[in-house]
A = this chain, B = another copy of it.
Amino acid sequence: MGTTAVQELDKVVIKFAGDSGDGMQLTGTQFTGTSALLGNDIATFPDYPAEIRAPQGTVAGVSGFQVHIGQTHIYTPGDQPDVLVAMNAAALKANISEVPRGKTIIIDIDNFKRKDWEKAGFAEDPLESGVLKDYHVIEAPITSLTRKALEGLGLDNKSITRSKNMFALGMVYWMFSRPLDYTERFLKDKFAKKELIYEGNVKALKAGYNYAETIEALSSASTILPADMAPGLYKNIMGNEATAWGFLAAAEKAGKELFLGSYPITPASEILHEISKHKHFGAKAFQAEDEIAGITSAIGAAFAGDLAITTTSGPGLALKGEALGLAVMTELPLVVVDVQRGGPSTGLPTKTEQSDLMQALYGRNGESPVIVVAAKSPAHCFDMAFMASKLALEHVTPVVLLTDGYVANGSQPWRIKQVEDLDDIVPHEASKNMMNWQPYERDTASLARYMVYPGMAGYEHRIGGLEKDHITGNISYDPRNHEEMVRIREEKVQRVANYIPDLEVQGEESGELLVVGWGGTYGSLTTAINQCQAQGRPVGHAHFSFIKPLPKNTAEVFGRFKKIVVCELNNGQLVNYLRGELPQFDYLQYNKIQGLPFRVAELTEKIADILAGK
């Protein structure tokens, strides 16, 4: 990491870590909000314990929240913390290997007693064993100082102890010269009806701030200047929330009601939660009995004229395969969101991975083409949910939108859009005065059929999963008709290439090496390429949001580089797809399958190796 330190001076990565019950998510969110208001660019990544609450004080029970703030553009939550706040021994144990030597670690020594470090799995007392010797350690009795600060306020013990996260936050606010008012306002709102708790929290916050000042927690308290971001109104948004909002916007723009058929699953459930809140926008969130009912209810809603979507994660997409084939065969507009997680099977449910691409492309019987797109970052989820809806409605075909756990749970400043600012969506429907409408007659350019919904008199018709005549839609077992229909369904998807943006290249426009990625690795790759460029390494970066079909200029872009390396968080899925689609190129690949995002350093190293011919 030494080589990159210079570029990273204008940014800082802070990780808050403690027990599940210690309120670390809230602490992190507060720091994020305050920094956003100061105009910093930010990226965050919460890191929950896996699935079930584990026993207190154990590594399995550690909850973390990492935030990356900076004055220049931030694309990832950061590789490694510059500051780690460890509320107990387990939090230290779980995170220390990620903190580069020389960085700062704040420790609540009240939770580093023998029983604490034993439970955390340290063989020796970490404060003495030397594991911390290369770090800048700030030992603070956070718990006991909080207790003291709140003495006499009349709060019960539990509430007092719970306030210690505010004490820690106060310390960090001082260290980075953040104001306290954002959090004070937040606390006022949150505990509007619990005056005492509000007071306790604010008191703890200030006590921490003052304590840091007193001990001069950092030799020089550093401030991060605002980032250079496009003018506009911003708010902080999480990936899943952005996805939900993208659909709400698309429905409004298309003049349709939104129908979501879904079954809860980590890490996709929040999309369901969010849409459930807004039924009055004509958004029907239907929690089905399982994933199959989720998609089939959506198919029914699409048939009846709603903007129909279904959301899930990998195992759920596997279950939806058969029904997705029905949507392909009947040619209905439908968006399927897969928030990818570690697989196979139940796998690593709370971790991230990009290993559902093949499933999205091929996980159904027969020749069953769908549009496949992916979101690059939390805020980009909004754009891709909107775009997926537009493509589905305008091309009358199912679309699979791939996001992942990393993007879904991460957050990012989002330049707020208003519905007026968005592209039009014109659902491909038959008009009442269309002569001799036939269910499978097509637009000659897009090959989309013209939708008609129940309720329209004189247009009664039947569709289904059997092969159908290419015009009337009646059942047809005719061999040539089948071949024609198979080809039309594929061609219709391929023609979408005429309606999507070209592939862009970041960094060098041509030359030695093109780094190719897709979806949620955008931030890591962009940062890595920026660093490489700053170091004078001649690399370009092409990132796919549109995978099937590929952008029209893909071959042209690939042709401009001597080497191509495809970087993915899987065992090589996009690269194999590219080998099938554009066999004329040679592809190198770089894969990581650890349930974790790429680290920028890993990428720059790999790029350097390739450039060096290794």
The yes or no answer to A180 lying at the interface (CB within 8 A) is no
CB contact between A318 and one of B364, B467, B579 (< 8 Å): that residue: B364
A581 to B479, CA, bound (A): 32
Is the CB–CB distance between B329 and A346 below 8 Å? yes
CB nearest neighbor in B for A50: B477
**A436 is an interface residue with CB less than 8 A from chain B:** no
Instruction: Please tell me which stretch of A122-130, A302-310, A414-422, A592-600 contacts chain B, meaning at least 4 of its Cβ atoms lie within 8 angstroms of it.
Output: A592-600
Q: Is the Cβ of B363 less than 8 Å from the Cβ of A321?
A: yes
In the assembly, what is the distance between CA of A355 and CA of B490, in Å?
14
Please pick, from B348, B364, B477, the residue contacting A482 in the complex, using a CB distance under 8 A: B348
Complexed CA–CA distance, A480 and B594 (Å): 6
Whether A366 is near chain B, meaning CB under 8 Å from some CB there, is: yes
- Shortest CB-to-CB span from A479 to chain B, Å, is 3
Q: Which residues of B contact A348 (CB under 8 A)?
A: 466-467, 477, 482
Decide if A571 is an interface residue (CB 8 Å cutoff).
yes
Q: Which of A74-82, A141-149, A281-289, A337-345 contacts its partner?
A: A337-345
**Alpha-carbon separation in the docked complex, A577 to B577 (Å):** 9
- Residue A486, interface by CB 8 Å: yes
Pairwise interchain contact B345-A329, C-beta atoms closer than 8 A: yes
Knowing A321-B319, A365-B318, say if A326 contacts B342 (CB, 8 Å). no
A365 to B464, CA, bound (A): 27
Cα distance A314–B326 in the bound complex, in angstroms: 12
Range for the number of chain A residues in contact with chain B:
35 or more
Alpha-carbon separation in the docked complex, A340 to B364 (Å): 12
Expressed in whole angstroms, the Cα–Cα distance for A361 and B353 within the complex equals 19
Cα of A368 to Cα of B586 in the assembled complex, Å:
25
Minimum Cβ distance to chain B for residue A112 (Å): 24
Q: Interface 1/0s, chain A 452-470, versus B by CB < 8 A?
A: 0000000000001111000
Give min CB distance, A471 to chain B, whole Å: 18
Contact across chains for B342 and A467 when beta carbons are under 8 A apart: yes
Given contact pairs A348-B466, A477-B50, A366 touches B362 in the complex (Cβ within 8 A): no
Top 5 A-B residue pairs of the complex, sorted by shortest distance between their CB atoms: A343-B366, A314-B365, A344-B366, A479-B594, A346-B465
16 inter-chain pairs at a CB distance below 8 angstroms, sorted by A residue, are: A318-B322, A318-B325, A325-B343, A328-B345, A329-B345, A330-B345, A340-B365, A343-B364, A343-B365, A344-B366, A346-B464, A356-B366, A359-B364, A483-B594, A486-B593, A577-B580
Q: List 19 other contacts, CB 8 Å, given A328-B345, A362-B362.
A: A50-B477, A319-B319, A319-B322, A322-B345, A326-B345, A342-B467, A343-B365, A343-B367, A344-B366, A346-B466, A347-B465, A355-B367, A356-B366, A358-B362, A362-B363, A363-B363, A363-B364, A482-B594, A580-B580
